[in-house]
Each structure stands twice: as C-alpha cells, then as structure tokens.
Amino acid sequence: MIDVQHLSKNFDDLEVIKDVSFHINQGDIFGIIGQSGAGKSTLLRCLNGLEPYQKGTVIVDGHDVGNLSKKELNEVRKEMGMIFQSFNLLNRLNVYDNVALPLQFWKQKKNSPENKAKIEHLLDLVGLTDKAKSYPRELSGGQQQRVAIARALVLDPKILLCDEATSALDPMITKDILSLLLKINEEMGITIVVVTHQMEVVKQICNKVAFLKNGKILSVGKPEELFVAPNDEIQKFVGDDVEFLPKEGTNIKLFFTDTNSSSHTITELARALNIDFDICQGKLENFRAGIMGSLIINVKDEDKERVFHYLTEKEVLWEEI
C-alpha cells in the first residue's frame, strides 16, 4: 500500500529525514515511534504530499507522490484520511457538519440521502449518534477525537494517517480510541499509519513498527520483536535498564515471544535439570498478539552450561547479562 525508498527531507540546511526506507502492506496498522524531534510527523506528512522532499520516492497505492500534479495529488489525498492531536474541529459547526466538511470540499451535498446515511453510519460507528447536533465545546476530548475520526472516514479512504492522535487524551480514553482504530482496521480493512511517542499505542494496536531517531530508522519489525528483546537504542527509549543483579552466579535473560509465551519454560527448566535458581526481575506486557515479555534468572556458575544448552534446545531466546 505504501512504499518509501531512500527518502530524505530538508528544511533549509537541516536534514530532518535521512535516507529512510520501509513498506506498509494493505491492512497493516503501522507505527512510527520515537522521541519528540525525531522527524515522525514530518515523515507522515511526506506520505500524503503535505511536505515536499528532496530525495527518494514515496509510492502510495501505486502513485508516486513526488511526481504528481496538484490535481492528481488531491485525488490521492482523498484516499488518505488524517487525524491530529489537536482534533482540528471547527467550533462554529456541530458534530454532523464537522463530519460532513470533507464532502463539501469535494462539492458534494451533505444532506443527500446517500451522504446523510453515510454520516449517520459513521457517527454510530464512533458512538456519537446522540451528539450529532452538539458543538465541539460541548464534547470531551475523547468525543472530539471520535468526531475527527468519523470526519477522516467520510470520503471512504483506503489509508488513515494518525499524527499523535491520542497524546492529548488520558489513559482510559486513549484505550477507547485505540480500540476504535482497531475496529476500523478489522471491519473496514483500512490501512492505518500511527505516529506516536507512546509505547502503549504501539503495543496495543500495531502489527509492525519503525523506530525513528534523529531522522533515521534504526529498526523495523513486529512490536514484540523490537520491545521484548530491544537493542541498545530502543532500550534507552523505553527506559528498560537493568539496575540490580546478583554479583555472584550467572544472570540469564529469557525472552518470551509469541512462539513460547504460553509454555511453562521456567518450571520445566527446573524439573528437567533438577536445579535451583533465583528470579531476579521479570516483565510481561500485553501486545496485540498476546502476552509477551522477559525474565532474568540467576543460576549457579556450575549449572550455566546445562541451562544454556537446555534453552537453546527448546528454542528459547536468551542472553547472558
């Protein structure tokens, strides 16, 4: 659905996107994560042509975004809905009219039978049927973001771009919005691209994620691959440092992924090898694909080779730390 190759973007002499490449398949919920200033929002705006770029290519549904006329680019943007952190609703318009606004930009009648039915369906989808005549000032932040989502869907896009869409919301409302995005993806088959600095967003809904730092992509993969067994850069970002470990014996970190997270690895290890060990630190997290995480154990030095062999034989990902 989206293919980005060797993309570079400058603001005058400042290079903010540096030789970035990745692809997004149809139906993905693709996360772009990184700290503030990493270039996430600029990268997102390159996808729909809101930001021109100096090098590389952006292919969206077969269209080369960088080589389109203004009319052609507008047609591509029509298939790419966008929601923002600040909601961007018009306070003078009620909920129904805010949702209908893109239709009017495209010279369509908001109250035609077809469009009226579409808007009412979208308001039902986002749970705001009873708020059609309300104004933004009368709504909570979560309700306003639901209006923005309905508005982004009114032109039947193939892609939904989300720029820090939950950053202004509290954790419970964030969870509701993420559930709604997941529902939209599953029921409507819309590809979703999520720019965020919130780890929970990526864990809850994304099936693939790119980690961006200083305009460069350092890693691309499944969230559980990046965050269950993170490299040094991602470890710094998530604050997953190990502080206190025994100085005697051997410390081993085990990683539980979708292939072994439901097994009884630890109890089986103790029984099979007839050894004792200490559990030093553990963390299990809820990813979209299930419960995954890591565990640090401390074994006696004389037992470590047997433990290494056992874990390798059972195809458990591990490292000595």
Could you tell me the pLDDT band of residue 267, with boundaries at 50, 70 and 90? confident
Mean pLDDT of 9-33: 94
pLDDT at 245: 83
Least confident of 135-139, 195-199, 234-238, 274-278: 234-238
pLDDT at 120: 95
pLDDT at 289: 58
Is it the case that residue 288 has pLDDT exceeding 80?
no
pLDDT at 236: 73
Reported pTM: 0.81
User: Measured between alpha carbons, how far is 252 from 242 in angstroms, rounded to an integer?
Assistant: 12
pLDDT at 37: 85
Least confident of 52-61, 85-94, 114-123, 232-241: 232-241
Which residue from 262, 250, 257, 264 is spatially nearest to 296, judged by alpha carbons? 250
Least confident of 51-60, 139-148, 280-289: 280-289
Higher pLDDT, 174 or 285: 174
pLDDT at 282: 80
Q: Counting runs of H as helices and runs of E as strands, what totals does the chain give?
A: 11, 14
Is it the case that residue 260 has pLDDT exceeding 60?
no
The helix (run of H) or strand (run of E) holding residue 318 is strand 317-320
Which residue from 191, 197, 98 is spatially nearest to 146, judged by alpha carbons? 98
pLDDT at 255: 81
Can you tell me whether residue 113 is helix, strand or coil? helix
pLDDT at 79: 93
pLDDT at 217: 93
Mean pLDDT of 106-111: 89
**pLDDT by residue (tens digit) across 76-100?**
999 999 998 888 899 999 999 999 9
The helix (run of H) or strand (run of E) holding residue 29 is strand 29-33
Can you tell me whether residue 307 is helix, strand or coil? helix
pLDDT at 259: 60
Tell me the sheet residues that pair with 251.
298
pLDDT at 155: 94
**pLDDT by residue (tens digit) across 194-236?**
999 888 888 889 999 999 999 999 999 888 777 766 677 777 7
pLDDT at 238: 67
Which percentage of the chain shows pLDDT scores above 70? 93
pLDDT at 239: 62
Is it the case that residue 261 has pLDDT exceeding 70?
no
User: Measured between alpha carbons, how far is 294 from 43 in angstroms, rounded to an integer?
Assistant: 32
The mean of the pLDDT values for the chain is 89
Provide φ and ψ at 285, rounded to 5°: -135, 155
Tokens at 114, concatenated: 């077809």
Q: Check if the beta carbon of residue 94 is closer than 8 Å to that of residue 80.
A: no
